[in-house]
Structure 1
Amino acid sequence: MGVGGNFWDMLKPYARTEGFDFLRNKRVAIDLSYWIVQHETAIKLHTRNPHLRLTFFRTINLFSKFGAFPVFVADGTPSPLKSQARIMRFFQSSGLDLASLPVPDGTSVVDRNNKFLKCVQECVELLELFGMPVLKASGEAEGLCAQLNKEGHVDACITSDSDAFLFGAKCIIKRLKPNSQEPFECYHMSDIEAGLGLKRNHLIAIALLVGNDYDLKGVQGIGLETALTFVKSFDEDEVLDRLCELGGGNMLINNSDESILKTRLPHCSLCGHPGSKRSHFKDSCERCSSTKQEGCLQKPIGFKCDCSSCEQDKKEKEQKKNEAWKMKVCTKIATEPNFPNNEIIQMYLNNQHTNFTGAEPFISWKTPNTEMLIDYLAFKLNWEPSFIRQKLFPFLSTIFLRNIAKNQDTDLLYGQYEFDCIQRTKIRVGHTFYLVSWKKSTQTVNNNICTTPSKEAGLQEDYDELVDTFDEADVTNVRVDDGCLMTDENMDLVMAAYPERVDQFLQQKEFKEAKSRKKGKAKSAEDPSSSPSSRGVQLNITQFYRSSKGEAAEKIKDDSFSVGKRDAGNKRFSKSARRRLLLG
């Protein structure tokens, strides 16, 4: 969805891959419909209510693993243009005759089906129990995401709709690969401007020419490459006005008579240089390397003169060719009925995609309603409460550490767990974490956390190849050890919350390393064979394992040599025979 004509493929060379901490402590707007639709087809036959499952795990991973502050945006009432385009897309996918399309009256609105709206409403309920802010757009969700990004309320948008750039977005995250060192595939508007020379109005012009979510057709006969070359010939401030003029039938290209009056200088047919063949017959021209008596040389095959006259002629031909191409494109635009649609242009340029009562949107993150969240998931997904608490724990521990760092009163799972210690450092996909142990507090209620997943959650292995690892249940990395929970936590966050514990851990780690080095030196002093000098010499394998076969062979050789020597000294043999026995 978004701009037609493989628009993302055009932007692909200018994509960035950002590191693990790209979104840490940053706000990110999420197109909720994009999350619901993205993998629903892949897993709907394998799990119950996949939209809730995906939203649950993605929210936890984005908040706890990547440290982001998500802002969710839901679609509002679609515009009549979007409704008409949706009907046309349905006709095309169903193979129906487009001639039977209902005539748009400019007021009819076709909303999504009730099943999808129910999925959206359930996800909104789940996110509100998480304490996540959920905003409703007046129209398209990507429009509000782009507005929040443009006005600085969020740092990036997560969506696959390329027309978010047309709405004014500055940074779009199109794909997440969590189990890699660079998990975010990002597109920055600054990179597109520098690489392609396209700004926001240029992109809107391309969308009008090749088609978009509100007009699937665009201009007949104009593809993405043609549209790109055409709009780049205009400045950003004039490109939309030029399209409006062309749509009104005003041609922009006027042939210049000056180029027609110019004539190309005569060239010698022999050498190809300026001048006539008669003048070059006796005396060679200045450009030929032969002697004056021999005349000009025969020009080689494929020769092209590089004189100023030829260069000017070449430029004029290129200009005429470009003007003819532009005239052809302009003719196609002028013959397109009702082009361009000013309502689409105003929709993209509009910066009011929500019904905010104040000057700015109110965005806040609240404390999650843990017990209601557990009951909601247990009812909707048929999960065991203990399994939900286990998977929810990294989300709660992140909130706990952030509150401790801000000196705010807080507890973890209603006071059931408290910070114990830092077990060790852990490297995951090239990023270092602290493995933190959480122990049960003395006031522990009867809400145990177990490691046995529910029957619904166990389906992960069945469709592991169908969905992104960003949606896996075990990405949260919670382990149970003697009643304590182990989680991977961001090192800076733990340092901000418990600086004394981190200093103590680092001192203990340094002490252990020093003790290990000291023990290694003592062992080297006691065992000279294990000294660095002796270890540096690699011994032959026969020095470690003496072969009995080799010793027997050595003994046989010595015995045979002694026998031969004894026989060689026997006077009964001739001198030559004794020599052969001795040297044999």
Structure 2
Amino acid sequence: MGVDLKDLVPRSNVSIDDLEGKKLGVDAFNWLYQFLSIIRQRDGTPLKDSKGRVTSHLTGLFYRTAKLLEAGVKLCYVFDGKPPEFKKVTASRVKRRKKARKAYEKAKAAGDYEKAYSKAMQSSRLTSQMVIDAKKLLEAFGLPVIQAPSEGEAQAAFMTLKGDLYAAATQDYDAVLFGAPRVIRNLNITGRRRRGNAYVSVSPELVLFDEVLKETSLSHEELVTLAVLIGTDYNPGGVKGIGPKRGLKLVKEHGVDAWKEVNWDWDINPPDIIGFFMNPPVLSDYELSWRAPDKDKIIKLLVDDYEFSRDRISSTLKKVMKAAGQAGLGEFL
């Protein structure tokens, strides 16, 4: 979910061509949840194999990864580890998901497919097996897979700060709060994204950390304080009655102590959340290497194990391998 900073954060459009050769750290969970949410049949049922196993996440991950590799983007996928003890969104998400699941079943039985699809999108669940299979697929693609000790966006931000990555790629703004110098949103080849029951045109966006601080006239810690007032994954919904504009005014008046000026109704102290954003657990010892995709491993996982179309997978991989050959193997090292 992340924090809602869109009204305060300056963004500029970039093209996929602008990202050719750039190393991007993808927030893997963010993408997987997105695929599980939107890749569904008309009645909201996710894609499945003959054994009833959901394959929506693998479908989205395969085709988006393939397209971006074909375009010359160098992807590194970062997976979430253990969330901080005070993360509230997990429990609330489970409740919302169960409620949405019941509403989905009811709408589907009534033949209201539009409502069923909408509720199905809200009931997405990412299992440990899905994560395992996603990692297998990405490793078969020859891509670095990093297991973060805690939040994936924090790890991607750290790697970007070190200069090992050009940017963190995610839909949320949390990577900005973790201090990523550059964040790429809407990283997609198609130029459109599903919103509700319709598709809207989107372009990749570049968010620059320094520009955010300049636009808001805040320090890093003050920006995090503002986010805490608005609401984060650790205090969903934020302080009642505090939106981006009012929150910004409070922080400009009171700085990092702005939370003391509001009716704080959470069982966690704001400094704990602020401290986590400013100094999150990260993995400093990691390896980044890119290899040519292993066609046989990809086909075994998707075609042999999960019953994907051999022709479609082979056709897509042929394009990826061609791009890899044109770039030269050195581009994958």
**Structure 2, gaps ≥5 residues long:** 49-54, 100-123, 192-200
Aligned residue in 2 for 1:19:
15
Whether 1:7 and 2:23 are equivalent positions in the alignment is: no
User: Structure 1 residues 378, 177: CA separation in 2 closer, same or farther (over 3 Å shift)?
Assistant: closer
Aligned partner (choices 258, 272, 277) of residue 343 of structure 1:
272
Contact 2:25/2:167 (<8 A) preserved: yes
Aligned residue in 1 for 2:165:
154
Following TM superposition, by how much is the alpha carbon of 1:369 offset from its aligned partner in structure 2, in angstroms? 2.2
Contact 2:2/2:233 (<8 A) preserved: yes
Paired letter, 2:304 = F
CA distance in structure 1 between the aligned counterparts of 2:329 and 2:23, rounded to whole angstroms: 21
User: Structure 1 residues 403, 219: CA separation in 2 closer, same or farther (over 3 Å shift)?
Assistant: same
Following TM superposition, by how much is the alpha carbon of 1:92 offset from its aligned partner in structure 2, in angstroms? 6.4
Following TM superposition, by how much is the alpha carbon of 1:209 offset from its aligned partner in structure 2, in angstroms? 1.5
Map residues 418-497 of structure 1 onto 2, 5 A cutoff.
none
CA distance in structure 1 between the aligned counterparts of 2:84 and 2:129, rounded to whole angstroms: 20
Aligned residue in 1 for 2:80:
75
Contact 1:17/1:182 (<8 A) preserved: no
CA distance in structure 1 between the aligned counterparts of 2:131 and 2:270, rounded to whole angstroms: 31
Following TM superposition, by how much is the alpha carbon of 1:155 offset from its aligned partner in structure 2, in angstroms? 0.8
CA distance in structure 1 between the aligned counterparts of 2:244 and 2:125, rounded to whole angstroms: 35
Aligned residue in 2 for 1:131:
142
CA distance in structure 1 between the aligned counterparts of 2:268 and 2:83, rounded to whole angstroms: 22
Name the SS of the counterpart of 2:215 in structure 1: helix
Following TM superposition, by how much is the alpha carbon of 1:51 offset from its aligned partner in structure 2, in angstroms? 0.7
Aligned partner (choices 102, 109, 129) of residue 118 of structure 1:
129
CA distance in structure 1 between the aligned counterparts of 2:39 and 2:125, rounded to whole angstroms: 20
CA distance in structure 2 between the aligned counterparts of 1:204 and 1:405, rounded to whole angstroms: 40
Map residues 121-520 of structure 1 onto 2, 5 A cutoff.
121-176=132-187, 178-179=189-190, 183-233=203-253, 239-240=255-256, 242-243=257-258, 247=260, 330=261, 332-333=262-263, 340-354=269-283, 356=284, 358=285, 361-403=286-328
User: Structure 1 residues 337, 378: CA separation in 2 closer, same or farther (over 3 Å shift)?
Assistant: closer
Name the SS of the counterpart of 2:236 in structure 1: coil
For residues 537-574 of structure 1, what are the alpha-carbon distances to aligned partners after superposition, in whole Å with 9 as ceiling and x for unaligned? xxxxxxxxxxxxxxxxxxxxxxxxxxxxxxxxxxxxxx
CA distance in structure 1 between the aligned counterparts of 2:165 and 2:188, rounded to whole angstroms: 21
Aligned residue in 2 for 1:282:
none
Contact 1:210/1:218 (<8 A) preserved: yes
CA distance in structure 1 between the aligned counterparts of 2:224 and 2:34, rounded to whole angstroms: 25
Whether 1:50 and 2:50 are equivalent positions in the alignment is: no
Aligned residue in 1 for 2:27:
31
Paired letter, 1:56 = F
**Structure 1, gaps ≥5 residues long:** 96-112, 248-329, 409-584
For residues 253-298 of structure 1, what are the alpha-carbon distances to aligned partners after superposition, in whole Å with 9 as ceiling and x for unaligned? xxxxxxxxxxxxxxxxxxxxxxxxxxxxxxxxxxxxxxxxxxxxxx
Q: TM-score, normalised by structure 1?
A: 0.46
Following TM superposition, by how much is the alpha carbon of 1:73 offset from its aligned partner in structure 2, in angstroms? 0.5
Aligned residue in 1 for 2:114:
none
CA distance in structure 1 between the aligned counterparts of 2:79 and 2:208, rounded to whole angstroms: 23
User: Structure 1 residues 404, 124: CA separation in 2 closer, same or farther (over 3 Å shift)?
Assistant: closer
Following TM superposition, by how much is the alpha carbon of 1:389 offset from its aligned partner in structure 2, in angstroms? 2.0
User: Structure 1 residues 233, 118: CA separation in 2 closer, same or farther (over 3 Å shift)?
Assistant: same
Contact 1:377/1:383 (<8 A) preserved: yes
Paired letter, 2:38 = A
Contact 1:208/1:340 (<8 A) preserved: no
Name the SS of the counterpart of 2:17 in structure 1: coil
Following TM superposition, by how much is the alpha carbon of 1:31 offset from its aligned partner in structure 2, in angstroms? 0.7
Contact 2:33/2:126 (<8 A) preserved: no
CA distance in structure 1 between the aligned counterparts of 2:67 and 2:134, rounded to whole angstroms: 16
Which structure is richer in relative contact order (CA contacts within 8 A, separation 6 or more)?
A: 2
Contact 2:157/2:175 (<8 A) preserved: yes
CA distance in structure 2 between the aligned counterparts of 1:142 and 1:166, rounded to whole angstroms: 9
User: Structure 1 residues 85, 149: CA separation in 2 closer, same or farther (over 3 Å shift)?
Assistant: same
User: Structure 1 residues 177, 138: CA separation in 2 closer, same or farther (over 3 Å shift)?
Assistant: closer
Name the SS of the counterpart of 1:2 in structure 2: coil
Paired letter, 2:205 = E
Contact 2:144/2:290 (<8 A) preserved: yes
Contact 2:83/2:151 (<8 A) preserved: yes
CA distance in structure 1 between the aligned counterparts of 2:27 and 2:327, rounded to whole angstroms: 26
Question: Once the two structures are aligned, what percentage of the paired residues are identical?
Answer: 26
Contact 1:375/1:385 (<8 A) preserved: no
Contact 2:142/2:294 (<8 A) preserved: yes
For residues 389-427 of structure 1, what are the alpha-carbon distances to aligned partners after superposition, in whole Å with 9 as ceiling and x for unaligned? 221012112222232678x9xxxxxxxxxxxxxxxxxxx
Q: TM-score, normalised by structure 2?
A: 0.77
User: Structure 1 residues 190, 387: CA separation in 2 closer, same or farther (over 3 Å shift)?
Assistant: same
CA distance in structure 1 between the aligned counterparts of 2:267 and 2:312, rounded to whole angstroms: 58
User: Structure 1 residues 38, 384: CA separation in 2 closer, same or farther (over 3 Å shift)?
Assistant: closer
CA distance in structure 2 between the aligned counterparts of 1:7 and 1:86, rounded to whole angstroms: 21
User: Structure 1 residues 115, 35: CA separation in 2 closer, same or farther (over 3 Å shift)?
Assistant: closer
Alignment coverage as a number of residue pairs = 289
**Structure with the greater alpha carbon radius of gyration:** 1
Name the SS of the counterpart of 2:205 in structure 1: strand
CA distance in structure 2 between the aligned counterparts of 1:54 and 1:353, rounded to whole angstroms: 27
CA distance in structure 2 between the aligned counterparts of 1:366 and 1:178, rounded to whole angstroms: 22
User: Structure 1 residues 192, 404: CA separation in 2 closer, same or farther (over 3 Å shift)?
Assistant: closer
CA distance in structure 1 between the aligned counterparts of 2:181 and 2:204, rounded to whole angstroms: 15
Following TM superposition, by how much is the alpha carbon of 1:32 offset from its aligned partner in structure 2, in angstroms? 0.8
Paired letter, 1:362 = E
User: Structure 1 residues 114, 384: CA separation in 2 closer, same or farther (over 3 Å shift)?
Assistant: closer
Following TM superposition, by how much is the alpha carbon of 1:55 offset from its aligned partner in structure 2, in angstroms? 0.8
CA distance in structure 1 between the aligned counterparts of 2:316 and 2:98, rounded to whole angstroms: 41
